[in-house]
Amino acid sequence: MARMSPAAEPADPFDLTGRGAIVTGGGTHLGKAMARAMAGRGARVCIVGRREHVLAAAVDELTAEGLTVTSRSLDITDDELVGRVVRDIADELGDLSIMVCNAGASAEDRFPPDQPVETFLATIRSHLVGTFSCAQAAARVMRDTRTGGSIVTISSMQGSVASDPRLYEGLDLAQRSGPGYQSAKAGIIGLTRNLAAELGPHGIRVNCISPGFIPRSDANAEFVERGRAGNALGIIGEPDDLAGAVLLLAGDAGRFITGHNLVVDGGWTIW
């Protein structure tokens, strides 16, 4: 009787080998963690941002880990520049399969009744309009090359629930999540669903990740403890906690997922 050949190993649905990916705001914190996760699964990643020295430090760190990561300077509020740079990066990578729209800057530091409208608009412009510009630029490349792809936007748990003022009470913080940030993050969730509906026929999936309380390493200690107490798990989120979410949505593991908002918040929004 003839011997049966061993069954082929099933393909790894989280494997991103050979795929080109862009991560905006990829030089620090959540962006760098998501870039690391995708590069660790074989993607060729380009991180973009405004501060070249921050990007250079991140590239040095990630390449020292054996990962394939490059960088480009980009201000996501410059719509025309976004289109050119995204297409240039796609050409350099030889492919653009993944766009992670993570960048956004906030300028809110006042109680809402005292906040200038210009400050509100600046936050909307960076977070919401910047996300649209980057997603639009990626979608054009993916459509024109007919390769399809995945666009992942980054919102926040505060796109779904109100920012709790008690988190900030009595603390001397440089910044707080204000009305512009919350409005922008809610808008990103709606934008994601619209883009998913429009781009689905082109084979382009669009999904959103809404991180919970994941403080930076230099965050106020009392602020961090208040955040720890606010979620069901009673722990503090870390940037690498987004790795599973971005790998799911970026590649074949999420091939039947689009228009979804994946909340990664330790249970904050279940209350």
Catalytic residues: 181
The closest of 155, 214, 161 to 184, measured between CA atoms, is: 155
Residue 89 to residues 7, 96, 123, 207, Cα–Cα distance (Å): 39, 8, 26, 22
The conformational region for residue 232 under phi > 0 = left, psi -120 to 50 = alpha, else beta, is alpha
Q: Which H or E run includes 32?
A: helix 29-40
Task: For 68-84, give one letter per residue: b (16+ CB within 10 A) or e.
Answer: ebbbbebbbbeeeebbe
Q: What angle do CA 245, 221, 227 make, to 5 degrees?
A: 45
The SS3 call for residue 59 is helix
DSSP notation for 169-213: TT---S----HHHHHHHHHHHHHHHHHHHHHGGGTEEEEEEEE--
With a CB cutoff of 8 Å and minimum separation 6, the contacts of 230 are 164, 167, 213, 268
**Cα separations (Å) of 49 from 2, 32, 34, 38?**
59, 11, 14, 18
What is the rounded distance in angstroms from the CA atom of residue 171 to the CA atom of residue 168? 6
d(CA 15, CA 251): 7
CA distance 129 to 153: 12
